[in-house]
Chains A and B, each alone.
Chain A
Amino acid sequence: MSALIVVLACGAVCLLMRLGPVELLARTQPPPWLDRVAMLSAPAALTAVAVTGLVAAAGGLADLLPRAAALGIAVVVAHRTRSTAATIGTGMLTLWLITAAQSMLR
């Protein structure tokens, strides 16, 4: 029940963020600082979500290393190709290959 309340609260916050400016700023420009914060918040937030998920999903160092290596390769692929499919495909393939190699060495 309390988890549902948290989800509802987050939904209310999101609706307020979407609808609030529509109702309040209909005749004025947003302040410049809001523009800067909005520009920077997406990469900061998405990175935080990605890295936190990576660390949380890995039970220990043995799990973390293959994931970190796969993520590193995915960063290079994303930078070079700008392709979502190539980034995800290469990252997953790298993770599976390293994990399989780890299993064979044990």
Chain B
Amino acid sequence: MAPLLLGIAPYGMVVGMTIASSGLPTVLGLSTGWFVYSGAAQIAVIQSVAAGAAPVIVVITVLALNARLLLYGSAMARPWRRTGRGWRALAAYLLVDPSYAVGLDGYEKRGPTPVGHAHYLGGAVVLWLTWQLATLVGVTVGSVVPRALAVEFVVPLYLVAVVVPKATTRRLRMVVAVAAGTSVAGAALPLHLGPTAAIAAGLLVGLRGGRRCQP
């Protein structure tokens, strides 16, 4: 659990720095952590809203960024079957990459028992609190650091650190390359359509490429 907290704290701070440099009201930026609660999606929402993107584009971008949540929810459907509706709603709200990992680990060792559920919920709540605190620290640090230091550059660097080690197959590298190229080409698109176009192009190439070659 501790390594997970150490892993998410810097990312939470990055989100906070993004809020500080976006020009949006701080409370509005922080509210993405309460309502959206997903790092990459929060950054996309903050950047898109600050850039004046059309609401429908922002929502589509969030949908694309968080498609994996559908799988996480599907995987948790079985262990959560016998829990109450309120408990499931809270547990689902707290479902993110690290809490999913905590949940899988707990249910593997303890099964879908009250102890397993407590393991998931306890871990997920600690992760949520750590995330909100780290974001708040990031907002504070981000507003006092000189602009010349370009701390907002930590965001793309962090995403590189996440994406590159995972791009282990030819197909995934193709997806990354096409998404990157389309992002640059689509930077001038209206309504902040660039990221959505890049995600769509990457997905299209990945799905088509998968039919022709093995990863």
Contacts and interface: CB of A to CB of B under 8 A. Distances in A.
Contact of B202 (A48, A50, A55, A95): A48
Contacts of A34: 70-71, 74
Nearest to B158: A88
B163 A74 contact: no
Contacts, number: 273
B70 A17 contact: yes
B175 interface: yes
Q: Which has the most chain B C-beta neighbours within 10 Å: A19, A44, A92?
A: A44
B35 A7 contact: yes
A44 B157 contact: no
A90 B105 CA distance: 33
Range of interface residues on chain A? 35 or more
Given A3-B49, A22-B92, A49-B44, A40 B202 contact: yes
User: Quick one: which of B62, B64, B159 has the most chain A CB within 10 A?
Assistant: B159
Interface residues of B, number: 88
B191 to A, nearest CB: 13
Contacts of B159: 46-47, 49-50
Interface of A: 2-15, 17-23, 25-27, 29-30, 34-38, 40-57, 67, 70-71, 74-75, 78-79, 82-84, 87-88, 91-92, 95-96, 99
Q: Which 9 A-B pairs have the closest CB atoms?
A: A11-B35, A44-B202, A21-B73, A51-B183, A48-B198, A50-B159, A78-B164, A87-B161, A19-B92
10 contacts: A10-B62, A14-B38, A15-B93, A18-B95, A21-B72, A22-B74, A38-B68, A43-B202, A44-B179, A44-B199
